[in-house]
Chains A and B, each alone.
Chain A
């Protein structure tokens, strides 16, 4: 293509893709620059590694990193693990399967904050769950379930919100495997487990990887669930970043932000790679 062909295409790409690159590019640039001491709002801007070493020395930070990875990893794994059997089950339509799929995907329509409210409502001190457990006599008195230290509430909400998304991606992937291929494997003697390991899993791996990575990034960077139902003695990375920022400590916020992006990137790559190895090689 000549320069003359490129000019109109470039001109067309500028308002859309161009702005995306400018915005995201400058956001990432500002984050990295601030983490090294540039773009100070107060005081002088100069290169320094001080913020990195300061933040990395804090126990708060390493706890937040571990905690965010914990939430991200388990949210992704649990959502996908729940969605896989459902997707396989709903692969072939049967009476009621469309309604069932819609029912399972309904949480996609519900805002995360609303989900958090609904959850709080059910598990609160005088909420339905406590009443129920007392009613059937398992618990003698109401228990405090809100902001549980193991973040089961956060994980539950993440799965509630993300399982339907994984289901959406996996149903697409699993439905694109033709009946003939599955029938052929049966005809050659493959039972249900062999069919899953040798045919379904390898052929739907890209859908699964996409679901894993997207859920992982979202849950890793979670702020709303953590601040509404998460444990009070721990902070997620996003929460830590926001709290640094609201104290005006932009440089430390930037260090957390850049670390968060790095972990998102590395973690996604690692998750995608491991799931491929497990699905393709390990189960052979």
Chain B
């Protein structure tokens, strides 16, 4: 039974490391976000001497946080919707037609993932300058985000289109269904989870995206990541950075968990690692 003892030893070790790795830093972040400015949290105290939500309220009222939240949470759904619309036709072609070079086309769709994001950001902004569109910041970010995250959207939707069963389509035709009715009965049920997963993943990626928002958006448009970045840089106030970190990370964890569930129910191949 030495194998089992070894195994439980390993489990304990990994859990300990993961605890140091995750729980301690996050507890620290939560505590720092609660530090009341009335009395500073000095190194000799285990817990902040005075705890309150002052920082949260203060950040909300007196910083660009509100503005960053608004722009992040309008950018993301716009990018998600645009991405979905752009991805659907390509995914339909890749998932339902067999044409020479299809695998190569699928590979090409991954291109935005290989080019480093700062290169895309900088030379996309150069392009905008050349076209005289450099004041069109919001639209440019939405456009860039939706295309940057198209690989995910196309990939998920292609798999969804592939899972539409030809015999369902044929059965609907056989029973005299119109094109719209065929779509409703054969395509939509198979596509629905894929569509939600696409919207969600582009949404999450867009909320988190830094390079484009930083390069193209600055100085007019502030998103949560760019705000956090500046809070970590020139104006580093630790409790404020803690508040921002938590605002960036907590909703995303929940969204990701929903996404994981969606993907698992949508197409087992994606969650089993073949995706």
Binding site for B on A (CB under 8 A): 1, 5-6, 9, 11-17, 19-21, 23-24, 26-28, 30-31, 34, 39, 41, 86, 89, 94, 96, 100, 103-104, 106-114, 116-122, 124, 126, 128, 130-131, 142, 160, 168-169, 171-173, 175-176, 214, 217-218, 220-221, 223-224, 227-228, 238, 241-242, 245, 250, 253-254, 257, 260-261, 264
Nearest residue, chain B, Cβ from A163? B21
B171 part of interface (Cβ distance < 8 Å): no
Cβ contact of A242, chosen from B21, B144, B215, B274, cutoff 8 A: B215
Nearest residue, chain B, Cβ from A34? B126
Cβ contact of B26, chosen from A12, A118, A220, A254, cutoff 8 A: A118
Nearest residue, chain B, Cβ from A103? B18
CB-CB < 8 A to B108: which residues of A? 17, 20-21
Binding site for A on B (CB under 8 A): 7, 10-11, 14-15, 18, 21-22, 24-26, 28-29, 32, 42-43, 85-93, 97, 99-100, 105, 108-109, 111-120, 122-124, 126-127, 129-130, 144, 147, 150-151, 154, 208, 210-211, 215, 225, 228-229, 232-233, 238, 241-242, 245, 248-249, 252-253, 256, 272-274
- Between A and B, 29 residue pairs with Cβ closer than 8 Å are A12-B92, A13-B89, A15-B85, A16-B90, A16-B91, A16-B109, A16-B154, A17-B90, A27-B123, A39-B126, A103-B14, A107-B21, A111-B208, A114-B245, A117-B241, A118-B25, A119-B25, A120-B232, A168-B273, A172-B273, A217-B114, A228-B232, A238-B116, A238-B118, A241-B118, A241-B119, A241-B122, A242-B122, A261-B119
Q: Is B253 a contact of A12 with CB atoms below 8 Å?
A: no
Interface of A is mostly: helix
CB-CB < 8 A to A245: which residues of B? 122, 215
Nearest residue, chain A, Cβ from B252? A109
Complex CA–CA separation, A264 to B119 (angstroms) = 12
Q: Is A224 a contact of B119 with CB atoms below 8 Å?
A: no
Best-surrounded residue of B115, B120, B154, B238 (most CB of chain A within 10 A): B115
CB-CB < 8 A to B42: which residues of A? 126
Tell me how many residue pairs across A and B have CB atoms closer than 8 Å.
Answer: 204
Q: Is B123 a contact of A224 with CB atoms below 8 Å?
A: no
Q: Is A20 a contact of B112 with CB atoms below 8 Å?
A: yes
Complex CA–CA separation, A12 to B154 (angstroms) = 12
Q: Is B248 a contact of A114 with CB atoms below 8 Å?
A: yes
Q: Is B25 a contact of A122 with CB atoms below 8 Å?
A: yes
CB-CB < 8 A to B7: which residues of A? 94
Given A89-B10, A100-B14, A113-B248, does the pair A15, B118 have CB atoms closer than 8 Å?
A: no
